[in-house]
Structures are given as structure tokens and as C-alpha cells.
Amino acid sequence: MDHAADAHRTDLMTITRHVLNEQSKYPESRGDFTILLSHIVLGCKFVCSAVSKAGLAKLIGLAGETNVQGEEQKKLDVLSNEVFVKALISSGRTCILVSEEDEEATFVEPSKRGRYIVVFDPLDGSSNIDCGVSIGTIFGIYLVKDKDNPTLDDVLQPGTNLLAAGYCMYGSSCTLVLSTGSGVNGFTLDPSLGEFILTHPHIKIPKKGKIYSVNEGNAKNWDEQTTKFVEKCKFPTDGSPPKSLRYVGSMVADVHRTLLYGGIFLYPADKKSPNGKLRVLYEVFPMSYLMEQAGGQAFTSKQRALDLVPKKIHERSPVFLGSYDDVEEIKALYAAAEENNA
Ligand code: AFP
């Protein structure tokens, strides 16, 4: 028996303890963020449990509704959205919520209002639900300017203003990855304890990776830069081995692998979708924030992704994110094209 390992395991760093530790660095803090986070964690635990029972409980199947992007909503999307919205409002710490599933932003009634804005995709990758492939929740947190007078402008902030961001992946284990602006930490749900335990402290993405992740089925509609980049991944000209391709089609799963193993995740613009597919507020921003906090980069084809200022809550943007050196390569291709056009 490995007593040393067991002794180590007796000092469990739960996500709440971790956030309380962080909070203690700010004497003026009133614990509001910790309370908010505990409600997000509750939502994640609920969704995790629902996802793992989905087949059994016959939760899978169309709910007969269509979401704002014109996609068919699965029952689990509807459930997850309801659970998160209710958990966030009942925290008493939120004032505006933006969910992928709701066309309009939700303004919390004054009696339940707090200082935080939460943007989230309660169940991303829903086309993977029926086959049991990893899916996830993505969230970002902002501060409102004036709690008594919240407006949509408070939501349309650049990603650089995020206070925190994270995702929870419902896969072979349930993993919550979080950054509150000082690095990235990963927590795994111990189902017997019902607690997220710190299992991946101080995640740093490798500076260069061996994997690229993209839906190559869209290749015929890509621009020249994306085409060149992917060609270089497959047929490198610098003597390095070709990169491997991995693509789940669930952003959380593809980004999680990229964060841990290194490489690049791309969802570029193409002729059919000139703004790409992924949503700025609750997909591109949180994942770009985590990548930067882990030492990587995120780029839109025109600028640093976090510098974008969205004009609409469901706006989309192309994104290239991952290992620093890999993103640097795609940036160089776009910079060269711009120079040639100048
Ligand atoms: P769904 O929620 O419709 O499955 O979309 C998932 C997603 O928004 C994101 O999680 C994936 O990275 C991306 O779309 C996959 O899109 P493609 O199916 O076009 O590759």
C-alpha cells in the first residue's frame, strides 16, 4: 500500500477551498465570487449526473424546440439551461445572464441581483449526446459597471475584461477547468465525495504541439491561409514530423486535449460561414482566456481573440487557439497575406 500517496490524498484541495484561498489574497473580497462559483459547480454536477444517466433515463431525444441558432434542441440542452439559469439567479450574485440557448439576455430582477454577469453555453457539443461522446459546459464571468442599472453594453465587453472563465467536460471523468486570472487549474469530480478535487494544478500548454484539430470537411471553402497552414501540418517543410489530426466536434473535448497535450484547435471562417461557427461570448472568449492563462494564444485571423468587442450577444468569430508556437505560425501566414495585399 502506498501510504505516502494516501497521506497526500488526505489533504484534499476542493474547488471551493481553492477559490477561498485565492480570495484570501484580496482582503476587500466579500466572498461573492466563491458563492457564485459554488452555484456554477452545482449546475455542472447536475449536468454531469444527467449526462451519465441520459441513456437510462431516456432523456435523450428531441424536446421539440429549436434554439436561436436554428438547431434542434435536445432534452438535455433544455434541462441544463434551466438548471444553470435557476442556479445562477438563486446565487443572488448575478445581474445579467447570456446563454447559448436563450435568444435574449436575462436581466435578473432587482431583489435577486448581484454584481456578476455570466455568459455560458450550458451544454456544448450537443450533437454528440446521442452517441455518448464527451460534451461540456463553457462559462465566462464579467463584472457589471452599475449593479442598479445593468445594460446590454455590460455584456458586450472584450474578452480581456473577463474576471474568470472555465469549462466542465462530461467525459470519461467529469473535469472542471478554471482560471480566475492567475493561471489555470483542473479539478476532477470525485463521485463518492460529490466534490471537485484539484487534480491538474497550474496547467501549462506545451509551447508547440503535435496535434491539429479542425473539421477538414469544410476544407473546400477555406481561405488560402487556413489551407496552407493545414497543408503544413500534414506535409511539414522544416523536417519536423507531420502532426496528428484529432477532432471530436465538441469544443470542450477538443480544447481540453489541446490544453493538456499541446497543438492547435481551429474553427476558421469559410466561404459558407464568413464569421466561422463558434460564438464569441460563450465559446471563443472563455477558451481563449484559458489558453492565454495557460501560456498559449488565441487569434481570430485578424487580431488577438480576447481583443474582440462583440456587437451582438450571439456573435460568431473564427478562432485559432492553442500552443504559442503553433498559433504564431498561423498568425504569420495572415500577416504575410496582409503585406502582399498592401
Ligand atoms: P453542437 O452543439 O451543435 O454539437 O456544436 C458544437 C460546436 O459548437 C462546438 O462544440 C464544436 O467545436 C463545433 O460546434 C463543431 O462544429 P462542426 O460540427 O461544424 O465541426
Q: How far is the CA of 266 from the centre of ligand 1 (A)?
A: 12
Q: Of 3.90.226.10, 1.20.1250.20, 3.90.550.10, 3.30.540.10, which CATH number belongs to 3-202? A: 3.30.540.10
Distance separating alpha carbons of residues 78 and 83, to the nearest angstrom: 9
Cα–Cα distance for residue pair 293/192, rounded to 1 Å: 31
> Measured between alpha carbons, how far is 103 from 324 in angstroms, rounded to an integer?
35
Reported as a pLDDT band with limits 50, 70 and 90, residue 131 is confident
Atom of ligand 1 nearest to the CA of 135: 10
Residue 148 C-alpha to ligand 1 middle, in angstroms?
Answer: 36
Nearest CA to ligand 1 atom 7: 125
Name the residue of 127, 137, 139, 168 to mutate for ligand 1: max ligand atoms within 8 A of Cβ.
Answer: 127
CA of 312: how far to CAs of 104, 280, 300, 316, in Å?
10, 9, 17, 9
- Mutational test site, ligand 1, from 250, 284, 285, 320, max ligand atoms within 8 Å of CB: 250
| Structure confidence at residue 96 (pLDDT) | 98
| Nearest alpha carbon, ligand 1 atom 2 | 125
Residue 126 CA, ligand 1 centroid: distance in Å: 8
pLDDT in tens, 243-270: 999 999 999 999 999 999 999 999 999 9
The predicted pLDDT at position 8 comes to 57
Return the pLDDT at 1: 44
What's the pLDDT at 92?
Answer: 97
Give per-residue pLDDT as tens, 104-120.
999 999 999 999 999 99
pLDDT tens string 52-97: 887 766 555 555 566 677 665 558 888 999 999 999 999 999 999 9
Looking at the predicted structure, is the pLDDT value of residue 40 above 60? yes
- Say yes or no to pLDDT of 102 above 90: yes
**Domain spans in the chain, listed from the N-terminal domain onward:** 3-202, 211-340
Helix (H) or strand (E) holding 299: strand 297-299
Contact assessment for residue 114 and residue 92, using Cβ atoms and an 8 Å cutoff: yes
Question: Domain 211-340, what fold?
Answer: D-Maltodextrin-Binding Protein; domain 2 (3.40.190)
Distance 48 CA to ligand 1 centre (A): 19
Residues touching ligand 1 (Cβ under 6 Å) are: 71, 124-128, 215, 249-251, 254, 277-278
Q: Locate cell 497521506: which residue?
A: 7
pLDDT over 90 for what percent of the chain? Answer: 80
- Of all residues in the chain, what percent carry a pLDDT higher than 70? 92
Compute the average pLDDT of residues 274-303.
98
Q: Is the pLDDT of residue 7 over 60?
A: no
Ligand 1 centroid vs 32 CA: distance in angstroms?
33
CA-123 nearest atom, ligand 1: 2
Burial class from Cβ neighbours inside 10 Å (0-12, 13-18, 19+) for residue 176 reads buried
**Residue 316 confidence (pLDDT) above 70:** yes
Q: What is the mean pLDDT of the chain?
A: 92
For atom 5 of ligand 1, the residue with the nearest CA is 125
Average pLDDT over residues 312-320: 98
C-alpha cell at 28: 476587500
Q: How do residues 148-174 score in pLDDT, each as one tens digit?
A: 899 999 999 999 999 999 999 999 999
Selection from 91, 92, 65, 89 nearest residue 77 by Cα: 65
